[in-house]
Every structure is written in C-alpha cells, then in structure tokens.
C-alpha cells in the first residue's frame, strides 16, 4: 500500500472517530438531528410505504423512483417495443461494463477494474479459483468461520477441485485470521462487514498482512458497498465481490459486482468460461478466447431487466458525499444503541455490534433469546428488521432514506412490545421461509 493510501485511510478513521463522540446521544432531540441532516433530501428519491420504518436495507434495499422508472422503460419500451434491437439501441450489451464503471468510484477503484455480472456466489467461485491458479503450490484458503455461509460453501467447493488444498478458518483453526496467514496461504477471503454482528474489518491492515506472506486477498463487500467509503485501490486489494441489492438498492436478485486489480488482468484465469466472456462472442468461434481484463468474468447472458433497474438506482448516487454518508451511518447506529441502552437496560438484550465507530458497519445486531418472535412482532407494528439464527435481531441503518425520528420511533415500539410482552403472541413464533 502506498504511503498516500495509508495516510488517507488513517485520516478517514480519525475523522470518523471525531464525528461520532463517545458521549451518549440518547437525550438528543431527533427532530433537531433531522433538521441538521445534510442527506435528508435523499429520502424523497425512494418509494417508502406509509407507516413503515424500514431497518432492513442491509438485506434488501427499497425501490427508488429512478430504479422503478428505469425498470418500466426497460420492460415497456426496450423489451416490448425494441425487442432484440435493444441489445444495440438501448445499450444492453455493454451494461455490465457500464455499471462497473459507475460503481467504481463508490469502492475506490480506477476504471476498467469492475464488472457487474451474474451473482456474488458465482463471482466468488471465479475469483477464488483465479487466485489459487496465481499461487500454485500453496495449500491453504484462509477465511472466517463467521463468514456468510455461501462464502464458506464456495470456498469448500473450490478447495475440492485443487488436490491438497485445505480451508482454514479463524474461529475454528485459530483465533484470528492473522494467526492463519503464512507462506502456505494462497488466498484469504474476508467479509468486510460481518453479516451477523456488523463488525467492520480493517481492509488496509489485513490486505497488507496477506501480501507480506505472499498471499492474495478476496474481499466480500456485500454489507459495506453503499454504506461507507471503500478504498480498494489504495488498500492494494487483489479481488473483491459484492451485491447491489442491499445498500445500492438495485432490486431483489440484482446482479453482483466483481473487482480485479489491474496487475492481475493479464493472468486472470476463471473457470466458468462462457460466451459473454469471449473476446468476440458474435464470431461464434469454437475455442474460447477471453475478453480483456474483468470482461472475461462474464459467463452467460445477463438479466437485462435487473441490470436496467440497477442502472436507474445508481443515478441516485451521483450527488452523494460518501464521507457524509458514513458520518450519518455512524450517528444513526450510535443513536439507536444509545437509546436501547438508556431505555431498555432492564431487558436481556445484548448488543453484539461494536460501540467503537471504526469497528462497525451500518447495522446494529442484538442478541435476545426470543429474537424471532420479537422481530415478527416489530414487523407487524411496521418496524422491519430481520432475524439471523439462532438469536440475533438485525437492524440496518441506511443513511439515504432513514432519519433520526425513524430511529426514535423504532425504539419506542420495541420498548412497548417488551413492556407489554405482546411479542409472546403464538402467531409471532410461526417460522416463515425467509427470516
């Protein structure tokens, strides 16, 4: 990592700590906090149902008016009227690259290093495989036991196809990632923000540790992209994946992003070669010739309606100051934690998200023995969060459309449910397919 990149990272961390003081926010007036919010105007860009406080944007972002307009245009004009001509006339064919270029500034990447295609799971498989081929003879993939399960499933699957390669996990084989990274490590897979606890990992430090051992690193940005500034290039990251349907609000099942640093482009070898990743797909050649750089990561025909919906959603980011976004994110999460701590200390709620600003993402996770029925009771009252087994309530705080009055009202309702024990209604204990 360059000295300039390191200095920028530490400057950012200092600013974050300064903008979110240690003093409790519990006694602050939410109306006054909203009046001072520099991002308050962004709320009007979203379609938010009345009487709903949406605290689940860390799982699925809401629809923006721009995204809905783009989807309508894609369906009614480009598909229904343009038909197959829209691959050319509406720019469909180039959308994976176009969208990658639009997302690049949000993750601190120079152009030509990002592509939007397929899914996080598929892209992760491609990049882990590519990393192992770049480090032949090394026998370990290192990851976190607390990773989102699909990351572990894919890592296990990749390891099975490389004789002698093993998956080593922090939290199982050692206490920390650093203890597992050595000269036998080929690639380290790290979740930037832990999906269950909301803990934020130090990208600069862990990437440097991996590189010092000669290993490569893949960062999973699913719970950080769109919630905070990210500096992939400055941190010298090798590869990254991320979804676009959470904080980027690209719609359910929106395509994923994949990042490959320029220095790896000439040696990029991904295993799911398909015609969309061919250098000349419409020459219909028998042998595969990869397209240059990240374009070769594309596998099959992309889902254009989802791509166009994401294209619309990204227009909302043109005027967003990422530093202001992060500042508000930290204030929202601190306000929620401080209110819960001040008003609900009599109840067996344990916050597992760090209070220290530089250690948390944009969500707050609370352990409670009866988390599932309590979350369902909250949803019934219009406060939408989610549940993660076995006992975690997750609340996401998306700065673009949430306000401090939303936070205060959510805590009011949580307190009411706990005081009245209304969450004990048997109806709330019935498990649904999606939690």
What b/e sequence results for 359-373 when a residue is b if at least 16 CB atoms lie within 10 Å of its CB, and e otherwise?
ebbbbbbbbbeebbb
Q: Is 196 a catalytic site residue?
A: no
CA-CA distance, 133 to 367, in Å (whole number)? Answer: 41
Q: Is 391 a catalytic site residue?
A: no
Nearest to 221 by CA among 243, 245, 198: 243
Which one is catalytic: 126, 138, 196, 246? 246
187 is written with which tokens? 């690639």
* Helix or strand holding residue 207 (H, E): helix 203-212
CA-CA distance, 49 to 80, in Å (whole number)? Answer: 29
Q: Where are the beta strands (DSSP E) in 180-263?
A: 185-191, 216-220, 239-242, 256-260
**Which residue is listed with tokens 């934690």?**
337
* Helix or strand holding residue 394 (H, E): strand 392-396
Q: Are 416 and 390 in contact (CB under 8 A)?
A: no
Provide the sign of the torsion angle of the four alpha carbons 85, 87, 89, 90, taken in this order.
Answer: positive
Q: Is 394 a catalytic site residue?
A: yes
Nearest to 74 by CA among 316, 311, 314: 311
Which one is catalytic: 40, 45, 93, 148? 148
Which one is catalytic: 12, 54, 239, 245? 245
Which one is catalytic: 151, 338, 394, 397? 394
170 is written with which tokens? 């922090």
Which one is catalytic: 194, 220, 233, 316? 220
Provide the sign of the torsion angle of the four alpha carbons 310, 312, 315, 320, taken in this order.
Answer: negative
CA-CA distance, 357 to 397, in Å (whole number)? Answer: 14
Q: Is 287 a catalytic site residue?
A: no
Q: Are 207 and 236 in contact (CB under 8 A)?
A: yes
Conformational region of residue 51, where left means phi above 0, alpha means psi within -120 to 50, and beta covers everything else: left
Residue 123 burial class via C-beta count within 10 angstroms: exposed 0-12, middle 13-18, buried 19 and up: buried
What residues have CB less than 8 Å from 93, skipping those under 6 apart? 87
CA-CA distance, 59 to 57, in Å (whole number)? Answer: 5
Q: Is 431 a catalytic site residue?
A: no
Catalytic positions are 148, 220, 245-246, 394
């Amino acid at each position: 990592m360059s000295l300039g990149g390191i200095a920028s990272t530490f400057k950012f961390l200092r600013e974050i700590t300064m903008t979110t003081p240690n003093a409790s926010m519990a006694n602050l007036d939410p109306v006054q906090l909203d009046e001072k919010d520099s991002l308050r105007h962004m709320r009007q860009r979203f379609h938010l149902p009345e009487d709903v406080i949406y605290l689940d944007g860390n799982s699925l972002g809401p629809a923006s008016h721009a995204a809905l307009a783009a989807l309508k245009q894609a369906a009614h004009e480009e598909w229904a009227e343009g038909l197959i001509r829209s691959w050319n006339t509406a720019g469909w064919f180039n959308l994976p690259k176009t969208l990658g270029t639009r997302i690049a500034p949000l993750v601190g990447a120079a152009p030509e290093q990002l592509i939007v295609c397929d899914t996080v799971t598929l892209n992760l498989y491609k990049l882990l495989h590519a990393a192992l081929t770049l480090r032949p003879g090394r026998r370990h993939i290192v990851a976190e036991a607390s990773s989102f399960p699909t990351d572990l499933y894919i890592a296990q699957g990749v390891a099975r196809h490389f004789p002698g390669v093993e998956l080593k996990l922090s939290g199982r084989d050692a206490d920390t990632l650093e203890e597992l990274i050595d000269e036998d490590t080929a690639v380290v897979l790290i979740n930037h923000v832990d999906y269950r606890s909301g803990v934020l990992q130090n990208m600069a430090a862990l990437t440097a540790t991996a590189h010092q051992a000669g290993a490569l690193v893949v960062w999973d940005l699913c719970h950080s992209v769109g919630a905070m500034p990210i500096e992939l290039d400055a941190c010298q990251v090798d590869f990254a994946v991320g979804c676009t349907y959470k904080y980027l609000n690209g719609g359910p099942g929106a395509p994923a992003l994949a990042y490959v640093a320029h220095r790896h482009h000439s040696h990029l070898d991904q295993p799911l070669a398909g015609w969309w990743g061919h250098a000349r797909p419409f020459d219909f050649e028998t042998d595969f010739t990869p397209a240059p750089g990240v374009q070769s990561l594309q596998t099959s025909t992309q889902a254009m309606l989802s791509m166009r919906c994401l294209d619309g959603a990204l227009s909302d980011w043109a005027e967003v100051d990422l530093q202001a976004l992060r500042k508000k994110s930290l204030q929202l999460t601190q306000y929620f934690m401080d209110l819960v701590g001040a008003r609900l200390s009599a109840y067996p709620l344990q916050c597992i998200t760090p209070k220290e600003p530089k250690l948390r993402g944009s969500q707050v996770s609370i352990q409670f023995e009866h988390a599932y029925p309590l979350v369902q009771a909250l949803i019934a009252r219009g406060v939408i969060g989610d549940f993660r087994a076995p006992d975690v309530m997750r609340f996401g705080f998306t700065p673009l459309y949430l306000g401090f009055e939303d936070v205060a009202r959510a805590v009011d309702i949580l307190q009411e449910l706990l005081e009245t024990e209304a969450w004990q209604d048997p109806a709330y204990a019935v498990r649904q397919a999606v939690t």
